[in-house]
Every structure is written in structure tokens, then in C-alpha cells.
């Protein structure tokens, strides 16, 4: 996979480069800021760009650069890395796009297996969301959503957490060691209990529905 990297912390950038090389990816460039990444990608194609959220141009150059990149390279996958997993940034990222996009904590991509899984899913068009953040959204929903979420069974909560991470039915089935059919049934139950539309057949729309539900204020779901 061809990967471009923009990160202003030299130490972290070097560490990530080593990990990407060890995973067998082709590094098309590693730069310290958003403007440099944008310039690089005008001449050099890549499959996925990895961007630090908090880098030049300040204050959140990763996001502003990604908006520009998505406009001119709509098929380029975008992986945001951050020191913070904030639902505010998640919502901003989902405004940039709901396909081929991901948001992960910096220290959580620290293995070849996790990094490659994250990049592969993004290249395949999926949304990848930091499990720490997905878990927090499900475990601590906004107060007016608590009743609805507390009506879910333990297994349904497990499925909801994995849905909020952006996992497909097969991905959820693989994580929970159950069949895809069983996952479909759980998802139908979850959508019924939360009062969400079940016709969102595209998984990224489904992820979006779940995240919006968990994050939205009263009456906005």
C-alpha cells in the first residue's frame, strides 16, 4: 500500500515510518505539516494519507488539510492520528467524509497487526474509529439517551461498541466469534430499541446513524 505521512513530531514520525516499512508498505513521503503533504500529493499518488490532527497549519492542520485533499483526491484514504480521542473531532472528521476514513489514538497503532488492519480497512472504504472513543460513546451516552442504551442486552452493547468502531457485520462476527446471521439479528434489535431507521444498508451510513444517535442532543437524533 502506498502511504503518505504528515506529522510534526519528528520522534513519532520516525517511529511510524519504521513500523510502516516493517509492515511492507511503500512510503511515498513523510513531511512535518499539512501544506507539505498537500504539495507532495499533487505530484505523488498514494492510497492512504496519515495525518496528525494537531499540526501546522495551526490549530488543527490535519483537519483543514484533509478537507482540501478530499476535494481534489476523493479516493484517497485518510487516517487521522491524535493524542486525544474526542467526539468533537470525530464529528468533524465524519463531516469531511464517511468513507475511507479513520481516527485513531497515536499510541494505539503501535503494532504491525493493528496498523495494517486499520490501513487496509480504510483503503477498502470503511470507517475506522478508535475503540477507546467508541466504547466511551456507548458506555457514557448523553443523559437523555441513557434509558434507551440501558435497555440493550450485554451482547447488544458489545455489538453496538463494534458498530461504533465502524466494523462491518463480518468484522463484528469475527470479533465476537458468532455468525454474521447472529450479528444481523442483534443489529436489528439494537436499531429497534434505539428507534433508528433499519434501512441504512450501507455500513458507513449505519455507523453514522449510531454515532449521531450517541452524540446528539435531545430531539436531534
Partner 1 sequence: MANARFAVLAEPGTHLVVSARTGHPRYARGLTPPCAGGDPIPAGLPNRHHAVMSLRPPQNHDANPTDSVGRCRGADQWLRRRRLERQLHDGAALRLSALSLRLGLLGDQSAVGAENFQRQISELQDELHAVLQELRQIADKIYPPLLNQAGIGPALRELAAEAGIELAVTDGADRFDPAAEGAAYFMVADCLAAEPVEPPAPIRVTVYRDGRLLVLSLGGLPTCHAELAQYHVGPLGGSVTTAVEPAELTNTPPTNKITVRIPCE
In angstroms, give the least distance from the CB of 135 to partner 1.
Answer: 13
206 in Cβ contact with 163 (< 8 Å):
yes
The CA distance from 34 to 51, in Å, is: 8
Nearer to partner 1, 72 or 114 (CB): 114
CB of 148 to partner 1, least distance (A): 14
**Smallest separation (angstroms) from partner 1 to the CB of 9:** 4
Cis peptide before 89 (omega within 30 of 0): no
Q: Which residues are at the interface with partner 1 (CB under 8 A)?
A: 9, 11-12, 14-16, 18-19, 22, 54, 59-60, 83-84, 86-88, 105-112, 114-115, 136, 140-144, 146, 215, 217-218
Q: Which of 149, 103, 101 is nearest to 125 (CA)?
A: 101
Comparing CB distances to partner 1, the nearer of 105 and 157 is 105
- Least distance between partner 1 and beta carbon 208 (Å): 18
Please report how close the Cβ of residue 8 comes to partner 1 at its closest, in angstroms: 8
Q: How far is the CB of 212 from partner 1 (least distance, A)?
A: 13
CB closer to partner 1 out of 112 and 200: 112
Q: Which is nearer to partner 1, 11 or 199 (CB)?
A: 11
Return the number of the residue (82 or 100) whose C-beta is nearest partner 1: 82
User: Hey, what's the torsion of the CAs at 163, 167, 170, 174, to 10 degrees?
Assistant: -90
Please identify, using beta-carbon distances, which residue of 133 and 183 lies nearer to partner 1: 133
Amino acid at each position: 500500500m502506498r502511504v503518505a505521512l504528515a506529522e510534526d513530531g519528528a520522534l513519532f514520525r520516525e517511529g511510524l515510518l519504521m513500523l510502516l516499512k516493517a509492515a511492507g508498505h511503500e512510503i511515498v513521503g513523510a513531511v512535518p505539516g499539512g501544506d507539505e503533504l498537500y504539495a507532495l500529493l499533487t505530484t505523488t499518488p498514494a492510497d492512504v494519507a496519515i495525518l496528525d490532527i494537531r499540526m501546522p497549519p495551526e490549530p488543527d492542520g490535519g483537519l483543514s488539510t484533509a478537507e482540501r485533499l478530499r476535494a481534489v483526491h476523493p479516493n484517497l484514504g485518510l487516517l487521522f492520528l491524535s493524542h486525544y480521542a474526542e467526539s468533537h473531532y470525530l464529528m468533524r472528521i465524519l463531516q469531511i467524509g464517511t468513507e475511507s476514513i479513520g481516527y485513531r489514538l497515536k499510541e494505539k497503532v503501535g503494532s504491525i497487526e493493528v496498523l495494517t488492519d486499520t490501513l487496509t480497512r480504510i483503503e477498502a472504504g470503511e470507517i475506522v474509529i478508535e475503540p477507546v472513543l467508541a466504547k466511551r460513546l456507548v458506555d457514557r451516552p448523553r443523559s437523555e439517551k441513557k434509558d434507551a442504551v440501558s435497555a440493550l442486552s450485554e451482547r447488544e452493547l458489545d455489538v453496538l461498541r463494534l458498530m461504533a468502531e465502524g466494523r462491518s457485520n463480518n468484522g463484528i462476527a469475527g470479533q465476537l466469534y458468532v455468525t454474521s446471521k447472529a450479528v444481523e439479528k442483534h443489529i436489528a434489535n439494537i436499531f429497534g430499541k434505539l428507534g433508528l431507521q433499519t434501512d441504512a444498508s450501507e455500513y458507513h451510513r449505519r455507523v453514522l446513524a449510531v454515532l449521531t444517535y450517541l452524540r446528539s442532543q435531545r430531539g436531534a437524533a
